Structure 1
Amino acid sequence: MITALLLFWLSIVGIQLIYIFFVYTKTAFYRHPDRNYAVLSYNSADYYSESDDQQGVTVIVCARNELANLKELLPLLNNQDYPTFEILVMDDRSTDGTYAYLENDIPELSRVRAIRIDKEHQHVTPKKYALTIAIKKARYPTVLLTDADCRPASLNWLTEMTEPLIFGSKDITIGFSPYEYYPGLLNLLIRSETLFTAIQYFSLALSGRPYMGVGRNMAYRTDLFFANKGFYTHMNVVGGDDDLFINEVATRSNTFVCLAPDTFVWSKPKTTWAEWRQQKRRHLNVGKYYKTGNKVRLGLLTGSHVLSWAMALVVGLLVVVHALHWYSFSSDEWLLLLVSTGAFILRQLAFWVIVGRISHRLAHTVHWSFIPFMDLLMAVYYGLAGLKTLFNRRKKQIYWR
């Protein structure tokens, strides 16, 4: 029994080492490919034709009661350094004065236009309905998505996120959206989960297995959306307007990963545990609709992460019990215990180095000194989330986003 337990622990740690050394390193050491389409200057007539709407971009912001955020965000979007683009704001039944502001108070924001949604539709969730209408009404064939509570890191955000689509051969660009720093455990948990999720979807995409993006920072061609019939297969699923859509349409060849700091979009995190739990319930509800291969890969990744720590605790208790009762391990058991423990220590060090490097390049999301604690924190989080998903069968209330 002890041998079987140690072999199981060793195999679990082995899976983790495979992911860390052969998947996570794709993001840790990723270099953007040379982009020949970006060599010329925007001032060159050979590079851009003002009359060519095929190179235009529609930035879409879906908002409900986000007046304060829109007042900050829209000027930042309006000033993006790109020749031809529009900003399309979808006002979904707002009651805080958003519509009046969009109609009367933004004459200096020449690129902004707005569409008002006055009612909810039963056949589709509100966010997906708003996005669908926005994409249908978009003037340009490339759309760039963000949220009202987001802030692009630079005026080059639009340019760098859409270059691979407009001047390259890609259909999708997935970017990074870090959360702002606040003191406290909740904020650390949010930033840790954001970093770890980004490591997963970036690394798997760079390994040829793209499965998701985040709607706070993502671009794609509208013809890809229409060819896939939009959100048809998951219209009534709460959430998924970003990851479920990408899960369906992303391939090895059509997806570009953008890790340039100028393309980061900073987001405001939840500040109460209740708000955060509501957000997580929505996200956990979406994962079960992923493709089977994606669920298997993610299951192995998160399951081995949780079990590597759980088995370390079990083995540690086993050693303590043996020491207290003067039991002895056989020579083979001692050897296997040393090998398993060594592999676990190697896994901890490799995780610290590789994830620390990724965190450094992704806006220092989590300070390197907190990476070991984040490692354990995420193991506990995923373990509890998995148990909650397994046993919670209550009907969820539908929220806007």
Structure 2
Amino acid sequence: MVLLYVFGAIALINCAYYLLFSNFAFLKTSEKTTSEKYPLSLIICAKNEAENLQKHIPLWQKQQYPNFEIILINDASIDETLEVMESFAENDSRIQIVNVKNNEAFWANKKYALTLGIKRAKNTRLVFTDADCYPASEDWLATMASNFSDEKQLILGYGAYEKLPGFLNKIIRFETLMTAVQYFSYAQAGNPYMGVGRNLAYTSNLYYENNGYMSHIKIPSGDDDLFVNEAATSKNVALCVEPKAFTYSLPKKKRKKWLLQKKRHYSTAKLYKPKHRFLLATYYATNLLFWLLAIATLFTDFWYFALAIIFIRLVFQYIIVGSAAKKLKEQDLAPFIPFYELFLVFTQLSIFISNSGEKNSRWK
């Protein structure tokens, strides 16, 4: 009976998190319209991305926005990245190139390259994406920019992955969905903790007020989430979740490469503020315990109570995560949410174990 009580308490905590996520799942979004068009600087850091730049620069150039520049940062590439950038810059005065060479102090450090790009930008409002990402529409920049105001200096967007056949693709998109549900929900509740560099915007004023990336400059990852964790407040963050403002990129096609990517991303979480580490760790721990105790309690004399608890918790999950998935155009994942979660929980456990005691690696 004690085991059943513990299981009930774990499920209750789970449901409390889902109620938190409902802040975003049931958020009514209205398209913002403003007569003021702030000048923007679109900043893209690229390392050995010649092929992607060839495809994506034209899409950035076609953005329906009256006043923006494109800052292309070549981060010590050894392919033809710089040549591709230069070929587009010849015919478009909006394109500015920052050519970064490695040095001993900041060898292969993306944050160093981004810092040089930010310093080169002539506008105070900055929009960031990655070289392997493309916008969902020609209104991406305009929609992101519409969220800026004197108070709102940091805009969180959604960086999605393309839908492809196969189980790995669904797991990658589910993990991306759940990460977004969390950081959007926390931000909506006045407790922002991260964003993704695939689709992010903030002002240079905010960047300089927080000394840029200096507090974590030696950490290879975290130019997005660690900066947001440090600079975001309950007042200065806005959400941009209109589908035309999404960005998309191709997900990894090999499980090993995806796991390496996730290991790098998860390694920054230990540097979040203590309250965020506690909340995120509790969410993960209760998810893991829920599935372990669900199995254990089904083999007790009180299995029918356990079944009722499982049912209630899954209903919460389906309603709230399903609504969020629809909002983020990931509704095809909804029917199998519990199975994706179960697989992801144990995958994350293996990553956390693997990450302990391992040094961070360079970006790309």
TM-score (norm 2): 0.94
1:146 aligned onto 2:129: yes
CA distance in 2, matches of 1:153, 1:78: 14
Question: Match of 1:211?
Answer: 193
Q: Which amino acid aligns with 1:197?
A: T
Count of residue correspondences:
364
1:130 aligned onto 2:128: no
CA distance in 2, matches of 1:284, 1:153: 27
Instruction: Check the 8 A contact 1:192/1:366 in 2, yes or no.
Output: no
Instruction: Check the 8 A contact 1:238/1:285 in 2, yes or no.
Output: no
Q: Which amino acid aligns with 1:399?
A: R
Runs of 4+ that moved beyond 4 A: 337-340
CA distance in 2, matches of 1:68, 1:216: 17
Shift of 1:343: 2.3
Question: Match of 2:86?
Answer: 103
1:88 aligned onto 2:71: yes
What does the per-residue CA deviation read over 1:201-238, in whole Å, with 9 as the maximum and x for residues that have no partner?
A: 11111111100000000000001001100111111112
Question: Match of 1:380?
Answer: 346
Instruction: Check the 8 A contact 2:109/2:220 in 1, yes or no.
Output: no
Q: Which amino acid aligns with 1:148?
A: A
Shift of 1:39: 4.5
Instruction: Check the 8 A contact 1:125/1:400 in 2, yes or no.
Output: yes
- The DSSP-based 3-state class of the residue aligned with 2:43 is strand
Q: Which amino acid aligns with 1:108?
A: N
Question: Match of 2:145?
Answer: 162
- The DSSP-based 3-state class of the residue aligned with 1:288 is helix
What does the per-residue CA deviation read over 1:295-339, in whole Å, with 9 as the maximum and x for residues that have no partner?
A: 1111111111111111111222x42xxxxxxxxx5xxxx4xx644
Shift of 1:121: 4.1
Question: Match of 2:172?
Answer: 190
Instruction: Check the 8 A contact 1:199/1:358 in 2, yes or no.
Output: yes
CA distance in 2, matches of 1:29, 1:349: 16
Q: Which amino acid aligns with 1:245?
A: F
- The DSSP-based 3-state class of the residue aligned with 1:114 is strand
1:1-400 → structure 2 map (5 Å cutoff): 3-20=1-18, 22-32=19-29, 35=32, 38-40=33-35, 47=36, 55-123=38-106, 126-165=109-148, 167=149, 169-316=151-298, 318-319=299-300, 334=302, 338-364=304-330, 366-389=332-355, 392-396=356-360, 398-400=361-363
- Tell me, which stretches of 5 or more residues in structure 2 are unaligned? none
CA distance in 2, matches of 1:366, 1:187: 12
- The DSSP-based 3-state class of the residue aligned with 2:159 is coil
Over 3 Å counting, the alpha-carbon distance change for 1:194 and 1:229 in structure 2 is same
| Percent of matched pairs sharing the same residue | 34
Over 3 Å counting, the alpha-carbon distance change for 1:34 and 1:215 in structure 2 is closer
Q: Which amino acid aligns with 2:327?
A: R
CA distance in 2, matches of 1:255, 1:124: 32
Instruction: Check the 8 A contact 2:31/2:242 in 1, yes or no.
Output: no
Shift of 1:10: 0.9
CA distance in 2, matches of 1:286, 1:138: 27
- Tell me, which stretches of 5 or more residues in structure 1 are unaligned? 41-46, 49-54, 320-328
Shift of 1:120: 3.5
CA distance in 1, matches of 2:112, 2:169: 31
> Rg bigger for which structure?
1
Q: Which amino acid aligns with 2:293?
A: M
CA distance in 1, matches of 2:65, 2:305: 56
